[in-house]
Structure 1
Amino acid sequence: MFPRVASPRFLALAGTVVLWASAFPAIRVGIDGLGVAGLSFLRLVVAALALTLVAPFTGVRLPRRRDLPMVALSGATGMTAYQVLLNWGEVHVAAGTASLLISVAPVFSVLLGTAFLGERLTGRIVVGSVIALGGAAIVSLAEGTSGFTVSSLVVLAAAVVQGVYHFSSKPLLRHYTGLEVATYAMVAGTVFALPLAPATWHAAAHAPADALVSALYLGLLPSALGFVIWAYAVARLPLAAATAALYLVPPVALAVSFVWLGEVPHAIEVAGGAVSVAGVVLINRRTAARRSPGTLRSPGTAALDTSGATADDQGDRSQQGAVRA
């Protein structure tokens, strides 16, 4: 199922997992020096500039005017609101714990797709959603680093808006590549975050070097490079392989947080995270069973990117347990 370890596809997929997992502890470092507003805006600006600069070399097209409202919704939710809420939550929630809570985001995207895109609601989706949300409740109620606090609910709110992003980006992915949609959303999200610019300027002027480096790292690597290599990997891998790899983001985030920040997760948090991932796996089995990897629809129903993967396939993959920070 998985490609060879030395293959570019595997390296891109592994790099995505490591980059997105490392973002959670990097946020904790950046918040201490820049604050929620400063880190949120600076990361978005850096990522948007980087993606815009490489856009001509990666075949990114301009979006159609009629798609701009959905681009705006994707940017407002998946970029602006997500960054602010996750950064705000991580003020008091441990980085590893935040990654476990964010892992339930696909539940909300699937439920929204059922409600507004006419996707079929099956018993498996219902059971998987209940299991995943139950796991999130266990993590939130754990007597570990964070406990049950308002901050835990804020991180869950970040998972909700990420689910909205997956839902709103799916219609776009029928006409654009995953990298194009990510670029559009990142630029739109930066525009919506402009009110944070004055606070960012003040915070950056007094921030320590490690906080500034963290913000640059978050913008250039997890946000910009992470989306580029993710788009490369999912265009060349079977759906099941790409999906399974992203289930590794929370455990890798826990490991990186332990090494980088010395955070030791509570056993109940780990158990709750495992329950959440199990629920997401159950939900995602319905997509894998419905469509075999590499199957193309009839001409005209899905746009092809330069690698030959359909945008519809990328849209499904974007909903398959994606955990990014």
Structure 2
Amino acid sequence: MNRHLSSPRFLASAATVVLWASAFPAIRVGVDGLGLAALSFLRLAVAAVALLVIAPLAGVRLPRGRDLPLISLCGLSGMTAYQILLNWGEIHVEAGTASLLIAVAPVFSVLLAGVFLSEPLTRNVVVGSVIALAGTALVTLAEGFSGFSLASLVVLAAAVVQGVYHVASKPLLRHYSGLEVATYAMLTGTVFALPLLPTTVGAVADAPAGALWAAVFLGLLPSALGFVVWGYAVARLPMAASTAALYLVPPVALLVSFVWLGETPHPVELLGGAVSVAGVVLINRHRAAASGSDTHATETVPVAGSTAARPSA
């Protein structure tokens, strides 16, 4: 048992959980010192450069011209819009709370897949979606109706655009690896974020060192390295194992946020997060049964970046 847990594939899966969970408090540090626009652009740009350096070593191919519209949609939704919305939300929502809200992204993935990819909406999918959204309602209303804010809706909007990314990336994953799709999307997302460059230049000049390091950390580790190690893990683990690992992202994010930022979650938030994860588990039980052990399926199910439908940050 210990030998299996110390194997490279399980270590890669564990590293992914820690990297993506640590992104939520890092965003809070970065957005406080750099502002919304600069943090969004810097994270994308740093990750894009890192993936470009890795691309030749990893055998990343040039995309086909006919796939550029879908790649553009992936970049705009899963990278540019997702970063801006999540960073905007975390200006007012605690990092741990944001991780609980983002955890419902797979719900939007399966619902959108049912509409645009004609994937069946079974009873498990419908019931799991209702349970997960009910948990999300608990999280947003943890402080009572007076605690409900536009920021919570903005973070939920980030989960929705992540769902769009997952659905748009699924056809691409029939022809490209997860790392290739992530690289294409990160590059196009950075291009779409170029209007933020002038603001970024001004913000960097006055930003504290901690915020700059947070941006570099986010770009290199949760974004770039997170894609690489997650791709390694899902190629070597059964879908059930890789999916189960990603359910640990919200609780690990809550722990890291407590240690790093001193954030203490409301008990109702914890209950709502547990309910949301239970709903996502129910959805993914159906998807695991339908997909079997197909490698590409593991890349499109369970949680964002990487190409999986995961609770990424």
> Which band: TM-score by shorter chain?
over 0.9
- Offset at residue 313 of structure 1 (A): 4.0
The count of corresponding residues between Structure 1 and Structure 2 is 309
- Alignment correspondent of 1:89: 89
% identical aligned pairs: 71
- Contact 1:140/1:148 (CA < 8 Å) preserved in 2? yes
Deviations 1:259-286 (A, max 9, x none): 0000000000000000000001111111
Deviations 1:8-43 (A, max 9, x none): 101110000000000000000001110000000000
Which amino acid is the alignment partner of residue 217 of structure 2? Answer: Y
Which amino acid is the alignment partner of residue 258 of structure 1? Answer: F
- Structure 1 or 2: more helix by fraction: 2
TM-score scaled by length of structure 1: 0.92
Deviations 1:277-321 (A, max 9, x none): 00011111111112332x5xxxxxxxxxxxxxx434423456865
Which amino acid is the alignment partner of residue 267 of structure 1? Answer: P
Over the aligned positions, Cα root-mean-square deviation in angstroms equals 1.6
- Alignment correspondent of 1:271: 271
Task: Give the 3 Å change call, closer, same or farther, for CA 257–186 of structure 1 in structure 2.
Answer: same
CA–CA distance in structure 2, aligned partners of residues 252 and 151 of structure 1: 22
Deviations 1:94-148 (A, max 9, x none): 000000000000001100110010101111111111111111111001118x931
Q: 1:202-217 alignment to 2 at 5 Å?
A: 202-217=202-217
CA–CA distance in structure 1, aligned partners of residues 179 and 199 of structure 2: 30
**3-state DSSP class of the match of 1:4?**
helix
CA–CA distance in structure 2, aligned partners of residues 263 and 3 of structure 1: 35
CA–CA distance in structure 2, aligned partners of residues 18 and 256 of structure 1: 9
Q: 1:142-153 alignment to 2 at 5 Å?
A: 142-143=142-143, 147-153=147-153
Task: Give the 3 Å change call, closer, same or farther, for CA 263–313 of structure 1 in structure 2.
Answer: closer
Deviations 1:134-185 (A, max 9, x none): 11111001118x9311100000000000011111101100110111100000
- Alignment correspondent of 1:311: 296
TM-score scaled by length of structure 2: 0.96
- Contact 1:103/1:321 (CA < 8 Å) preserved in 2? no
Task: Give the 3 Å change call, closer, same or farther, for CA 181–2 of structure 1 in structure 2.
Answer: farther
Which amino acid is the alignment partner of residue 12 of structure 1? Answer: A
- Contact 2:106/2:302 (CA < 8 Å) preserved in 1? no
- Alignment correspondent of 2:244: 244
- Alignment correspondent of 1:125: 125
CA–CA distance in structure 2, aligned partners of residues 48 and 3 of structure 1: 35
Query: Is residue 323 of structure 1 aligned with residue 308 of structure 2?
Result: no
CA–CA distance in structure 2, aligned partners of residues 173 and 277 of structure 1: 26
Q: 1:30-179 alignment to 2 at 5 Å?
A: 30-143=30-143, 147-179=147-179
Aligned structure 1 segments of 4 or more residues deviating by more than 4 angstroms? 317-321
**3-state DSSP class of the match of 1:237?**
coil
**3-state DSSP class of the match of 1:160?**
helix
CA–CA distance in structure 2, aligned partners of residues 317 and 103 of structure 1: 10
CA–CA distance in structure 2, aligned partners of residues 311 and 133 of structure 1: 27
Task: Give unpaired runs (5+ residues) of structure 2.
Answer: none
- Offset at residue 228 of structure 1 (A): 0.3
**3-state DSSP class of the match of 1:82?**
helix
- Alignment correspondent of 1:19: 19
**3-state DSSP class of the match of 2:147?**
coil
Q: 1:184-263 alignment to 2 at 5 Å?
A: 184-263=184-263
- Offset at residue 2 of structure 1 (A): 10
